[in-house]
């Protein structure tokens, strides 16, 4: 046995044919990226507050680490990450909606210097009319959206970043106040690819 977290399993809800097809497409996209023809990024939203996600930790005998959950605003973020640890983040201390996502991508698209594919899940904010209406405009600027099959969060590589942050990089002392948490998050995001790295299999 190994000491590890339980994982949610959504396999029974997946469309197997779609999963196989999309995985093949992702493999082709990764090959194009390796050949230098495109950039490939994985996008997703996540949130952080003063109630930490820390299921377990190593503790010395006789020591008990206690964390006191606190009600607080939620720091939401849209992250865009490549396999070589390039990370772009957009923060918001309010509910993330389609308008916010579209504004972020509009800011990002003008910085792109080659055809870029952004992998996203099928969250409602990514399937809203206001989002879909912008896809053709982004394509004209060399940004292409690739939607994952439903119930396949494991195919979105940025999920590994969120897991590393919430279970490894954030420590109990980072949850003492919202300003401390926000400062720590900003510092971590700025150092992804340097002090903090994610290895993708």
Could you report the per-residue pLDDT of 124-143, keeping only the tens digit for each? 999 999 999 999 999 999 99
Query: Is the confidence at residue 1, as pLDDT, over 80?
Result: no
Counting every residue written for the chain, the total comes to: 201
H/E run at residue 42:
strand 39-48
CATH match of 16-50+68-190 with 3.10.560.10 = no
Query: Is the confidence at residue 12, as pLDDT, over 60?
Result: no
The whole-angstrom distance between residue 44's C-alpha and the CA centroid of its chain comes to 4
For residue 13, what pLDDT band results from cuts at 50, 70 and 90?
A: low
Q: What is the pLDDT of residues 65-122, one digit of tens each?
A: 666 666 778 999 999 999 999 999 999 988 899 999 999 999 999 999 999 999 999 9
Q: What is the pLDDT of residues 150-172, one digit of tens each?
A: 888 889 999 999 999 998 999 88
Closest of 46, 43, 81, 48 to residue 192, by C-alpha: 81
Phi, psi for 92 (deg, rounded to 5): -160, 130
Query: So where are the chain's domains?
Result: 16-50+68-190
Closest of 73, 85, 10, 79 to residue 46, by C-alpha: 79
| Higher local confidence (pLDDT), 112 or 52 | 112
- Give the whole-angstrom CA distance, residue 62 versus residue 125: 47
Beta bridge partners of 45: 78
For residue 55, what pLDDT band results from cuts at 50, 70 and 90?
A: low
0.95 surpassed by pTM:
no
Region 47-56: mean pLDDT is 78
- Give the whole-angstrom CA distance, residue 11 versus residue 69: 32
- Give the whole-angstrom CA distance, residue 76 versus residue 104: 13
Backbone torsion region of residue 91, taken as left when φ is above 0, otherwise alpha when ψ lies between -120 and 50, otherwise beta = beta
DSSP 119: E
Closest of 120, 93, 91 to residue 107, by C-alpha: 91
CB 101, CB 75: distance < 8 Å: no
């Amino acid at each position: 046995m190994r000491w590890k977290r339980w994982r949610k399993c959504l396999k029974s809800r997946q469309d197997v044919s779609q999963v196989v097809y999309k995985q093949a497409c992702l493999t082709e996209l990764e090959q194009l990226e390796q050949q230098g023809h495109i950039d490939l990024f994985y996008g997703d939203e996540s949130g952080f507050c003063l109630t930490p996600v820390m299921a377990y930790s190593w503790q010395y005998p006789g020591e008990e680490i206690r964390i006191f959950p606190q009600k607080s605003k939620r720091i939401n973020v849209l992250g865009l990450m490549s396999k070589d640890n390039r990370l772009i983040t957009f923060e918001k201390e309010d509910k993330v909606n389609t308008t916010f996502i579209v504004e972020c991508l509009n800011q990002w698209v003008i910085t792109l210097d080659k055809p870029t594919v952004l992998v996203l899940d099928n969250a409602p904010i990514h399937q809203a009319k206001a989002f879909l209406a912008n896809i053709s405009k982004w394509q004209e600027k060399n940004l292409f959206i690739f939607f994952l099959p439903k119930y396949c969060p494991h195919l979105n590589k940025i999920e590994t970043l969120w897991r590393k942050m919430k279970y490894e990089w954030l420590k109990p002392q980072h949850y003492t106040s919202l300003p401390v948490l926000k400062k720590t998050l900003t510092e971590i995001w700025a150092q992804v690819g340097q002090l903090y790295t994610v290895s993708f299999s």
